[in-house]
């Protein structure tokens, strides 16, 4: 009877906790569906920019599944390569193919080279007398590893995840311990409280961002072709976005466990759309979801800095959007504090 009474109490507790029920029965299905649509997308086809290339070559590449776009000038083709519209630029120097690879993704680079080699064999009809392919790299290089490609994204993921979790739980403790109620009884306004907490937590987030950036580049030896200040600024703004989002969502949690429940809904989808997995294979309709996720913009800026060596003129849209999201979350957090007391 005592065991039965305990079982009944636990069942009633779960039935009345809708958030836990959703975490157990709905969220796993959502995450599995998300994995399905991401990894069950279309087959990736390398994209080539061709300049003064004869039709047998383009036909052979198309036969191998590649997408070939012809350009009138090499400058136009190079612009397309820099804008990530194509994976390689193909020109002919006599009978010798000259190929410039975008190079920032080793997996796509290998696939592009393999497709080109198959097309060359198909066009020539025999292995005898095949010309030697000459490769150059716009970004990265032949020695670039997969970790160099994933590293910038991992920096963003770890910075975002830990700041989100720690800030959310810390802000939650301020409410559950009664500190927030005492602050609300003082002349402090809601925006001053939010700004003060953001600045306080932000100092430690800044230290963490600097530590992660230094360890990744200085100790692990990740590829770093850009400026260090751009890396630090991007990591800091991404951490600030995670900080403000974590403190905002903590207003809707009553325990640390409820705060952790936000991870499958807030963090996991962002990891899938951060660029850690190639989004070129995803269906176009699901690919658009990345545009509403902060981690996507942070990872894009980090890759542009570390792999492509680009600076402020390229990454500033991503950074301004992260800053705008941080201000938005801070504003929503001010509104969320209304339920404690109107000041």
The pLDDT, as a whole number, for residue 284 is 73
Kindly state the average pLDDT of the residues 195-218: 87
The pLDDT of residue 49 is above 80: yes
Q: What is the mean pLDDT of the chain?
A: 83
Distance (Å, whole) CA 227 – CA 104: 17
Question: 47-137 adopts what CATH topology?
Answer: abc type-2 transporter like fold (3.40.1710)
Kindly state the average pLDDT of the residues 52-62: 79
The pLDDT, as a whole number, for residue 319 is 95
What does the domain layout of the chain look like in residue ranges? Answer: 47-137, 146-339
Distance (Å, whole) CA 301 – CA 324: 15
C-beta separation of 303 from 104 below 8 A: yes
255 contacts: CB under 8 Å, gap ≥ 6: 172, 176
Distance (Å, whole) CA 324 – CA 322: 5
The pLDDT of residue 342 is above 50: no
Kindly state the average pLDDT of the residues 109-121: 84
More confident residue, 132 or 224: 224
Longest dimension (CA), the chain: 90
The pLDDT, as a whole number, for residue 91 is 84
Quick one: which of 25, 15, 28, 14 has its CA closest to 265? Answer: 28
pTM over 0.75: yes
């Amino acid at each position: 009877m005592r065991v039965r009474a305990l079982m009944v109490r636990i069942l009633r507790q779960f039935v009345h906790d809708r958030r836990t029920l959703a975490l157990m029965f709905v969220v796993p299905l959502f995450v599995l569906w998300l994995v399905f649509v991401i990894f069950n997308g279309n087959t990736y086809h390398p994209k080539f920019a061709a300049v003064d290339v004869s039709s047998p070559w383009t036909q052979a590449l198309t036969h191998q599944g590649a997408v070939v776009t012809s350009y009138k000038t090499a400058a136009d083709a190079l612009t397309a390569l820099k804008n990530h519209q194509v994976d390689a630029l193909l020109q002919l120097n006599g009978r010798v193919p000259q190929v410039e690879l975008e190079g920032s993704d080793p997996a796509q680079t290998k696939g592009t080279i393999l497709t080109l080699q198959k097309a060359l064999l198909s066009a020539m009809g025999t292995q005898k007398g095949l010309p030697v392919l000459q490769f150059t790299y716009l970004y990265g290089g032949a020695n670039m590893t997969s970790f160099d490609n994933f590293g910038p994204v991992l920096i963003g993921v770890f910075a975002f995840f830990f700041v989100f979790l720690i800030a959310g739980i810390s802000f939650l403790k301020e409410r559950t311990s009664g500190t927030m109620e005492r602050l609300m009884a003082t002349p402090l306004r809601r925006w001053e409280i939010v700004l003060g907490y953001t600045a306080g937590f932000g100092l430690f987030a800044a230290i963490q961002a600097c530590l992660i950036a230094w360890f990744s580049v200085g100790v692990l030896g990740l590829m770093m072709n850009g400026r260090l200040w751009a890396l630090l600024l991007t990591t800091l703004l991404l951490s600030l976005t995670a900080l403000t989002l974590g403190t905002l969502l903590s207003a809707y949690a009553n325990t640390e466990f409820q705060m952790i429940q936000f991870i499958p809904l807030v963090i996991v989808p962002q990891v899938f759309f951060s660029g850690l997995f190639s989004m070129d294979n995803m269906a176009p309709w699901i690919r658009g979801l990345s545009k509403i996720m902060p981690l996507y913009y942070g990872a894009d800026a980090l890759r542009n800095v570390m792999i492509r060596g680009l600076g402020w003129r390229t990454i500033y849209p991503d950074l301004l959007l992260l800053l705008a999201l941080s201000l938005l979350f801070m504003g929503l957090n001010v509104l969320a504090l209304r339920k404690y007391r109107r000041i």
